[in-house]
Amino acid sequence: MTTTEKPADTTGMQAMSPTEPGAQTMTLSVGPQHSGSGHMRLIVELDGDIIVSAMPDPGYVHRGIEKIIELRNIIRSIPVIERPSIIDASNLNHAWVKAIEELQGVEPPARGQYLRCLINEMNRIMSHLYWLSIYGVFLGHTTMFMWPLGDRELFIDLAESLTGARITYSYLVPGGVRRDLPKGFAEEAIKRTKYFEKRLDEYENIFFKNPLFTSRAKGIGILTRERAIALGSTGPTLRGSGIDRDLRKDEPYAAYGELDFKVHTRPGGDSYSRAMVHMDEMRESSQLIRQILEKLPSGPVRRKAPIVVPRGETYARVESARGECSFYMIGEGGDKPYRARYITGSYRNLAAIPEVLKGVRLADMPTSWWSIDYWPVEADR
Amino acid sequence: MAPIVGKFKAAVNSWVAYSAGLRHLFHKPYTLRFPEQRYAVEAGFRGRHLLHLDRCTGCGICAWICPEKCITIVQRGDRWFPQYFYGRCCFCHFCTDYCPEFALEETVEYDIAEYTRELLVWSPERLAKPPAKKDNKYVFSVNGSRGASQVPEQGH
Amino acid sequence: MSLAHEREDSLVKTLKESFPSDIKEATVVRRSRINLVVAPDKIADIAVFLRDKLGYDHPSGVSAVDYNREGRFEIVYHLSSIKTRDQQDIVINLKESVPRNSPKAVSLVSVWPGVENYERESIEMFGIQFEGHPRPEKLFLNDNWDGPPPMRKEVRFPTD
């Protein structure tokens, strides 16, 4: 912790006394040991307890994944691609296989596309639940920390019976998915999504309507519509500022073009709006899971695809839980890409953190920046 | 008028929040005491590998596709078999998928922690043993009276 | 999906008419993807035109690619549009090439404030200099990293 005096006044005006606002600021380093979830640092300049400026300092969990995937073949890259955000593994994996399939010209069979959407929506719920639990603990609401983590098990257990793994599925491969639905999956999933929606009502009662939450989220941490666009925000952050952009609707991929769902937006741009967008999306995804299982066509789930990245370039993007995840891939005919640029939702929302924190009290800092759903590991890659 | 309404609403919402929590006060815990109470995973779970020695040709495709390079091909007499180092394995089971002879299989055995690094190296002979049967099985279910929780497995 | 790309074609046409000499190449890669190769010294003008006239106000990222055999770096700005509702799916890849031995480019932070972090990553990972960048510091790498820019092609790691 350091205290810095403002530079000497050269205009001849009388120097302000240290008790006046703005006369003296303090620089505070928040992190890098888990200032939120994952290692990142926020360098916060304070005037009293009001944040004058905040500068994120990422890079504590940088793994150089872009370099790693240049050096290994496309199948061996799949577990690595998932690692930046294991709570949202299949969405990131989807961006990777989509880029490869666009270059190869391989289109997965219809059932494979639906199963991809199924695991993606399950993952979106799991990711939002994890976000919600951390949000609860930031507000000192321990029940909200425990409940979503407990209810995540509903979908982790489903995903386990579908893919064989609980969190890191490696389920999507070029050409389709690795396994078909197990017996009795649909009935169990429908039961669980209905149960989950009942739980969401309880969440609303205990947390989202609770004055403990609303008084600390409404009107705090504002990201205006104009700034959200200029800073390139994406995902729930963008939708929380009143812009209805969702790649599942804008550029339908997999089976999303045939599914019926709504894009939820909130006009406020404050922490409350962003939080409620997450809440609405969980309901929507839960509804989508049932819809996918209803409309699921029969047939094969996987088509043969070679382990090769043909010559050419593509820019493939999907809507992950934290926003747009994209791959700019350049192939030169080998079994590995020449270059695969990996831009994730958290990385794009990193620019919004200083904007959101400006003018917020220090006590409201965790809730404000966590409402962006910034996942440091996903941003650092 | 508006501030009074707002305060009234806040008081109601506070009470709603309390009652939502209080209803869960007398429930049993979610969690299992692990070594005594064990969680049952379904068949198809990607646990440790089972190697069929008779089918394996030692071609080494598993070692080639392995993302973590945890597989070494070792010699036994005049044949070659994979040897796994579970300290690095990420249980993606691409080796199982890509095995042309179907010599590898997933098992439901997930608790393979050991005290030393050396014990995490699984020789082909050890991989060929089928997993030991374990009891005290619990499964996750939403059918119970209190909603989602771990319940003892039916028909066990 | 139709094979005709009216929206993309009209965008390319507008761009070519407005900057006949500065746009080296403008192609429709597939539905909703446009590649635009421009001269590095004119990129700022074209960027302002894209933002103000065509409504490409939402930066999706910046990629740098090391073409070491051709002796150049390619910097690619991925742009999408929020303003124009019917172009919600279009991504314009705005590309410029800088020579590998003196990699200097113009920073576009003044046009799209959101590209600041991506350009910072290109600075540390490829050693490209962006003129006019407000914070040309390390983003992900250690501040005391003194090795070569790690994403360049000649930097190899012995593990794979």
Chain A nearest-CA residue for B11 = A211
Asked if the Cβ–Cβ distance from B65 to A76 is below 8 Å, we say: yes
The minimal CB distance from A341 to the residues C59, C63, C117 is found for: C63
Contacts of A339 in chain C (CB under 8 A): 63, 65-66
CA distance A308 to chain B (A): 13
Which distant-in-sequence residues (6+ apart) come within 8 Å of A258 by Cβ? A295
Chain C residues with CB inside 8 Å of A245's CB?
82, 88
Tell me what pLDDT residue C3 has.
Answer: 57
pLDDT at A254: 86
Domain that holds residue A298: 65-380
Mean pLDDT, rounded, of chain A = 86
Q: Looking at residue A6, what is its pLDDT? A: 52
- Asked if residue A60 belongs to a domain, the reply is no
3-state helix, strand, coil split of chain C in percent (to 5) is 25, 30, 45
Q: Rounded to a whole number, what is the distance in angstroms from the first to the last CA of chain B?
A: 64
Query: Which chain A residue is nearest to residue C92, measuring alpha carbons?
Result: A315
User: Given CB atoms, is A258 within the 8 Å cutoff of chain C?
Assistant: no
Number of domains in chain A: 1
Best B23, B27, B32, B46 residue to mutate vs chain A (most A CBs within 10 Å)? B46
User: Does residue C119 sit at the A interface (CB-CB below 8 Å)?
Assistant: no
**Pairwise CA distance, residues C145 & C131, whole Å:** 22
Q: How far apart are CA A313 and CA A123, in angstroms?
A: 28
Amino acid A68: pLDDT: 87
Q: How confident is the model at residue C152 (pLDDT cuts 50, 70, 90)?
A: confident
Residue with tokens 């299982």: A293
Strand partners, A312: A331
Cα–Cα distance between A123 and A163 in angstroms, integer?
Answer: 12
Exposed, middle or buried by CB within 10 Å (0-12, 13-18, 19+), for A244?
Answer: middle
Q: What is the pLDDT of residues A211-255, one digit of tens each?
A: 888 888 888 888 888 888 989 899 899 998 888 888 888 888 888
Could you tell me the pTM of the whole model? 0.88
Which residue is it, tokens 């004058």? A52
pLDDT-based confidence at residue A61 (cuts at 50, 70, 90): confident
Distance CA A257, CA C139 (A): 38
Of A194 and C2, which is predicted with more confidence?
A: A194
Residue A22 has a pLDDT of: 60
Instruction: Confirm whether A1 is domain-assigned.
Output: no
Q: Is A322 on the interface with B (CB under 8 A)?
A: no
* Chain A residue closest in CA terms to B19: A206
At A184, the amino acid letter reads G
Cα separation, A262 vs A292, whole angstroms: 15
Residue A57 lies in a domain: no
A-chain residue closest to B69, CA distance? A76
The verdict on residue A17 lying in a domain is no
CA distance C142 to C75: 23
Distance from CA of A73 to the nearest CA of B (A): 8
Residues B63-88: tens digit of each pLDDT: 998 988 889 999 988 889 999 999 88
Residue B55, φ and ψ in degrees, nearest 5: -90, -25
**Domain segments of chain B as ranges:** 43-128
Q: Cβ separation of B30 and A160 shorter than 8 Å?
A: no
- CB-nearest to A350 from C60, C89, C117 is C117
Task: Kindly list the partner chains of chain B, i.e. chains with 3 or more CB atom pairs below 8 Å.
Answer: A
CB of A195 less than 8 A from some CB of B = yes
Q: For A3-42, what is the HEC assignment?
A: EEECCCCCCCCCCCCCCCCCCEEEEEEECCCCCCCCCCEE
β C33-38/C91-99 pair status:
parallel
A206 with B13: Cβ contact below 8 A:
no
Model pLDDT, residue A118 = 92
Helix (H), strand (E) at residue A273: helix A271-295
The rounded distance, in Å, linking the Cα atoms of C33 and A224 is: 29
CATH number, residue A81:
1.10.645.10
Residue A85 DSSP label: G
| CA atoms within 13 A of residue B156's CA, in its CB half-sphere | 14
Residue A173 has pLDDT above 50, yes or no: yes
Q: How far is B77 from chain A (nearest CA, A)?
A: 31
Which of B64, B92, B97, B110 is the mutation pick for testing A, counting most A CBs within 10 A? B92
- Which chain C residues are Cβ-neighbours of A324 within 8 angstroms? 60
What residues does B114 pair with on adjacent strands?
A: none
* CATH 3.40.50.300 for domain B43-128: no
Rounded Cα–Cα distance for residues A286 and A288 (Å) = 5
- Among chain A residues, the shortest Cα distance to B42 is held by A161
Dist. CA C151–CA C74, nearest whole Å: 13
Chain C CB within 8 Å of residue A231 CB: yes
Contact with chain C for residue A380, Cβ under 8 A: yes
Cβ–Cβ under 8 Å, residues A73 and A336 = yes
Does B17 contact A205 at a Cβ distance shorter than 8 Å? yes
pLDDT digits (tens, 9 = 90+) for C15-51: 888 888 888 888 888 888 888 898 888 888 888 888 8
Is any Cβ of chain C less than 8 angstroms from the Cβ of A262?
A: no
- All structural domains of chain C, each given as residue ranges with its CATH number in brackets, are 6-101 (3.30.460.80)
Interface of B with A in 121-150 (CB under 8 A): 140, 142-143, 147-148
Residue of chain B whose alpha carbon sits nearest to that of A146: B30
What residues of chain A, 51 to 90, have a C-beta less than 8 Å from chain C? 58-59, 62, 64, 66-68, 71-72
User: Would an 8 Å CB–CB cutoff place C150 in contact with chain A?
Assistant: yes
DSSP A184-246: THHHHHHHHHHHHHHHHHHHIIIIIS-HHHHHHHTT-S---HHHHHHTT--THHHHTTT----
- The tens digit of pLDDT for each residue in B3-48 reads 777 788 888 888 888 887 787 777 777 777 777 777 778 888 888 8
